[in-house]
Structure 1
Amino acid sequence: MGKEYIVYIDEAGDEGFGKLKRDGQVGGQSHWLAIGGCIVSAENDQRLPALKRQILSRFPQRSKRDLHFRDLNHDQKVVACQEIGAFPLGAAVMLSNKTTIPGTKFAPIFKQKGYLYNYLVRWLLERVTYACQHAAKGDECRVRLVFSRRGGTDYHSMGEYLRLMRDGRELMRPVRSIVWDVLNVDDVIVEDHSKWAGLQIADCITSAFWTAVEPNIYGNHEPTYAEQLRKCILQKDGNALNRGLAPVPSLAASRPTAAQLRVLTSFAKGCG
């Protein structure tokens, strides 16, 4: 009997890097862009609405019935991540430090709308499809993708980008590869955040790790939420770094601050 997995995909931060925010500044573009996925088996997918309701039941004073990470206060964010961390699901988050892009040969490429988003999606799918195939233990495996709809994203172009990779038409071949045997590019759903519990869970996961590295108005960042999700992150032999949690294009090239480096390396084998 085959295995089916659903991957709910959301982002935190934005793509732009022309007007990055400064410390103490309210406006401006985020320093980091995160693309993350919530990975569940078809059986556990049926339980996600109940998980969402369970989380919301912890906040009886809230009138909104949608789970949106940015609308929660600190204590509620901790509780939401604790509930998610106790559920049988997998998580993967790709993190790009956009402050490293200006002035490089990649800046003209990633300045084009959708290019950085699609690039991180590729990194995510390389890891997710491999993990799902491995979890299937030799059984037939199918991975379905559900993207959270975001304004201005050309999902047709993203589909063409995936087909380009699938057909081996890239000018530069990647080090890793998406496991195309388990993924049908034409079987992709794009839906509003409010309509799918899985997308709301993916929002919490992605935002939790984004908040762990993205500086706030005071220059600080908050790793507490991500810590609650440690057991969910895809890993191999106890190491989640560069597996379920991947700085793009590498940890060194991402040039994290000392505090950000401590967060990221805490997910490496033997740390945390």
Structure 2
Amino acid sequence: MRDENVPDHYYAAYIDEAGDPGLRSVRPIDEVGGTEWLCLGAVVIRASQSSKAVGWVRSMLEEAGVRNPSDLHYRNLPGFRRTSICSATARLPIRAFVLASNKKNMRQYRNLRAERLKSQQWFYNFCLRLLLERVTHFCFEHAKAENAPGRLLKIVYSERGGHSYGQTTAYQELLKSQSKAGTMLLTKRRIYWEVLDWRLAEAASHKSSAGAQLADVIASAFYQAVDTLPPTKLDNSFAKLLKPIMARDDGLYMNYGLALQPTPPSKAKLTDQQKEIFEFYGYKFWP
């Protein structure tokens, strides 16, 4: 039965990540440590289409020749099946976003304000904020263009162990308060609170959410396009296949459908191999 206290939503955004948010030690600076990258991926689907996601995923797995398909895990697929899955994903009526954070410049960084709030996951929340700035802008503008009767966005996080979604919600409420008070430290972009309602946020297990499985494809394909360290085998061909569904702002993918941190791009000190996927989506790396 539907909870009458929860408003209807017009969009659903499914969010997953590849890599980890750890900053104490970061490869390749440290021989053993956290991943060099944290990639957050989001898939936006109209609420009217959300129920179709289960069928989409099942059809994709069958097309890719996966026997007894129960759920979609990008990391478990061999290369030829990743090609099939990404090609099929690129044909869906969805929009995708990626926030790719190269963590080398954040190694051992401490956020004292977050520590005072006893937040143990501030870096993840910060990256999520940057992702939501783009996702909520897209939903706001898309709903306006469609003269949609509603525009609220439901956020579904792919559940992972050790993460407090209560902390994430509290962080977002703090940002909302700061936005109203005019005390935001970063103001170039903003979260469009007009499309958010805290009652429309939940965590779902990967296996139970077809939308989260699609978000896993997005996050993981771009992670494979940038990570050069074992056990990842860098290959940007899969992320390139996703171009038809990557979101654009004024015709540009750069810093919208695909956003690189840190900025400017030169700060990331990427290898030529790592730059390729960003250049494919419109980034320029000056000497």
Answer whether TM exceeds 0.5 for this pair: yes
1:217 to partner: Cα distance: 2.4
| 1:154-194: CA deviation from partner (whole Å, max 9, x where unpaired) | 11111110001111265524321101111112320111110
For residues 201 and 96 of structure 1, what CA distance do their matches in structure 2 show? 20
Q: Which residue of 1 aligns with 2:169?
A: 159
Q: Say which of 33, 39, 44 aligns to 1:39.
A: 44
Q: Say which of 56, 75, 82 aligns to 1:51.
A: 56
Contact 2:9 2:154 in 1 (8 A): no
Alignment of 1:37-186 (within 5 A): 37-102=42-107, 107-109=109-111, 113-136=120-143, 137=145, 138-139=147-148, 140-168=150-178, 172-186=185-199
Structure 1 window deviating more from structure 2 (57-66 vs 149-158): it is 57-66
For residues 67 and 151 of structure 1, what CA distance do their matches in structure 2 show? 19
Structure 1 window deviating more from structure 2 (81-90 vs 236-245): it is 236-245
Contact 1:238 1:268 in 2 (8 A): no
Aligned pair count reads 264
For residues 3 and 28 of structure 1, what CA distance do their matches in structure 2 show? 40
Q: Say which of 260, 268, 275 aligns to 1:261.
A: 275
For residues 187 and 225 of structure 1, what CA distance do their matches in structure 2 show? 31
Structure 1: unaligned runs, 5 residues or longer: none
Q: Which residue of 1 aligns with 2:16?
A: 10
Contact 1:36 1:94 in 2 (8 A): yes
Contact 1:193 1:199 in 2 (8 A): yes
For residues 135 and 171 of structure 1, what CA distance do their matches in structure 2 show? 25
For residues 275 and 65 of structure 2, what CA distance do their matches in structure 1 show? 37
Under a length normalisation based on structure 2, what TM-score does the superposition of the two structures give? Answer: 0.84
1:88/1:64 CA distance change after superposition, 3 Å: closer
Q: What percent identity do the matched residue pairs reach?
A: 29
For residues 244 and 91 of structure 2, what CA distance do their matches in structure 1 show? 8
1:73/1:108 CA distance change after superposition, 3 Å: same
Contact 1:9 1:199 in 2 (8 A): yes
Q: Which residue of 2 aligns with 1:205?
A: 218
Contact 2:58 2:69 in 1 (8 A): no
For residues 83 and 219 of structure 1, what CA distance do their matches in structure 2 show? 23
Q: Which residue of 1 aligns with 2:26?
A: 20
Structure 2: unaligned runs, 5 residues or longer: 1-7
Contact 2:86 2:238 in 1 (8 A): yes
Aligned letter for 1:182?
A: V
Aligned letter for 1:15?
A: P
Q: Which residue of 2 aligns with 1:243?
A: 256
For residues 225 and 262 of structure 1, what CA distance do their matches in structure 2 show? 13
The two structures, once aligned, show a CA RMSD in angstroms of: 2.4
1:61/1:182 CA distance change after superposition, 3 Å: closer
For residues 107 and 283 of structure 2, what CA distance do their matches in structure 1 show? 32
